[in-house]
């Protein structure tokens, strides 16, 4: 690795040792540009730090003793970043060839773009709907309330998930999932750290993207870059469990926090 990498790849892990190793393997094979890997183990207790040090000794390891959540883990990595770009990756991702250069190219060629997200696919290659329009106020109620038993995919949900978009060309979007987001290293100086008020179940990725828009920059979906995401939607397993209620609370906190964006003319193309 170069003394000053092009991109700092940050992976926050909790009880996902094998996923982390697989993710780091994919970076080693497919990064396509100079990078550093920063792994934050969030008090897993599963041997992740030892495994990373053994199999990927070049990775920079932050071993936290206590689990504090995804947001705190990402904030812990921010002071360590040395690259000119940052790629936030979930532990359960696999980077495909040319993904990082494709994302970096959009940022380098478009100063008005502040954050980019790749196309996410499952292990079988099936498309994950990872870019979004601004969510409707009633969305959590329609998706989790009695109405969901009648129609679990109402029009407002289809619009939010951009099911009318082919996901085959680059375009501005309101936000992209946090499983893979690339941005310039000076972004936190512009918008601040990740909001500790938001949990990893309630939209820290949405909040980060909305803050990019509020700073006068765009968020773009870049399907030329592909990342595999071995994702499971935890809050949908128990619709009325603690994590689902936390997601519900965070959703309306973010609706209030970013209420002015809903009618911001700068998002016209992203919401089209």
On whether residue 2 sits in a domain, the answer given is no
Average pLDDT of 137-164?
A: 85
Domain count, the chain: 1
On whether residue 271 sits in a domain, the answer given is no
Domain containing residue 236: CATH number:
3.90.550.10
pLDDT score at 232: 56
pLDDT in tens, 37-91: 999 999 999 999 999 999 999 999 999 999 999 999 999 999 999 999 999 999 9
On whether residue 225 sits in a domain, the answer given is yes
Whether 231 shows a pLDDT value over 80: the answer reads no
pLDDT score at 141: 83
CA gyration radius, the chain: 18
Least trusted range by pLDDT, from 19-23, 110-114, 148-152, 254-258: 148-152
On whether residue 269 sits in a domain, the answer given is no
On whether residue 48 sits in a domain, the answer given is yes
On whether residue 272 sits in a domain, the answer given is no
How many angstroms separate the Cα of 259 from the Cα of each of 95, 145, 204, 251? Answer: 34, 23, 16, 12
Q: Residue 102 sits in which domain range?
A: 7-262
pLDDT score at 244: 78
Whether 92 shows a pLDDT value over 60: the answer reads yes
Say how many CA atoms lie within 13 Å of 16 toward its Cβ.
Answer: 20
């Amino acid at each position: 690795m170069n003394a000053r990498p092009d991109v700092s790849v940050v992976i926050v892990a909790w009880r996902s040792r094998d996923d982390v190793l697989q993710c780091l393997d994919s970076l080693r094979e497919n990064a396509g540009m100079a990078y550093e890997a920063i792994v934050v183990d969030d008090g897993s207790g599963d041997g992740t730090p030892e495994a990373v040090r053994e199999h990927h000794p070049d990775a920079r390891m932050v071993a936290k003793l206590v689990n504090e959540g995804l947001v705190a883990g990402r904030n812990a990595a921010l002071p360590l970043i040395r690259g000119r770009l940052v790629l936030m990756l979930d532990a359960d991702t696999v980077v495909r060839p040319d993904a990082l250069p494709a994302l970096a190219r959009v940022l380098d060629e478009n100063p008005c773009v502040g954050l980019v997200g790749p196309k996410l696919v499952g292990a079988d290659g099936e498309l994950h709907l990872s870019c979004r329009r601004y969510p409707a106020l009633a969305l959590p109620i329609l998706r989790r309330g009695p109405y969901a038993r009648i129609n679990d995919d109402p029009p407002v949900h289809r619009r939010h998930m951009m099911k009318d978009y082919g996901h085959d060309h680059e375009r501005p979007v309101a936000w992209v999932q946090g499983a893979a987001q690339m941005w310039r290293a000076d972004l936190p100086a512009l918008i601040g750290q990740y909001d500790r008020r938001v949990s990893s179940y309630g939209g820290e990725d949405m909040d980060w993207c909305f803050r990019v828009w509020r700073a006068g920059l765009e968020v773009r979906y870049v399907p030329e870059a592909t990342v595999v995401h071995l994702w499971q939607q935890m809050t949908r397993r128990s619709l009325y469990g603690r994590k689902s209620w936390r997601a519900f609370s965070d959703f309306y906190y973010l609706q209030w926090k970013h209420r002015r964006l809903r009618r911001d003319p700068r998002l016209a193309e992203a919401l089209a």
